[in-house]
Amino acid sequence: MKFLTGTMFLVSIIMLNGPARADYDDKIWVAQCVRDFASYEVPTPVLYKYCKCMTDEMSDDETQSVKEWEPTHPNEMAACHSKSEGKSPSQSQPSRSDKSRRSEQ
């Protein structure tokens, strides 16, 4: 009986921490996405909405970044484009300062 009680306790802890872990991972992916697209001419709140939406669309075991994943998932990209006030980084251009840095390299 003690074994069953201990096992149930561990399972309940794992189940309670599962969503928190997923939320933490999502925050990391969203932050990475925002950094990846930071040089694009999209307001930060709109960029955040787009990245959050795209992260939500991706499977939990995805290993690609949003920037790598979006070209192969046009339907998800279009849906997130609509949810983020009709703007997405992929439909914008890097800012001029970013373009000049690239040409200097």
How large a percentage of the chain has pLDDT more than 90? Answer: 34
In 38-63, which positions are buried (b, 16+ CB within 10 angstroms) versus exposed (e)? ebbebeeebbbbbbbbbbebbeeeee
Per residue in 20-70, pLDDT (tens digit) is: 555 778 889 999 999 998 888 888 899 999 999 999 999 888 899 999 998
CA atoms in the 13 A half-sphere facing the CB of 35: 7
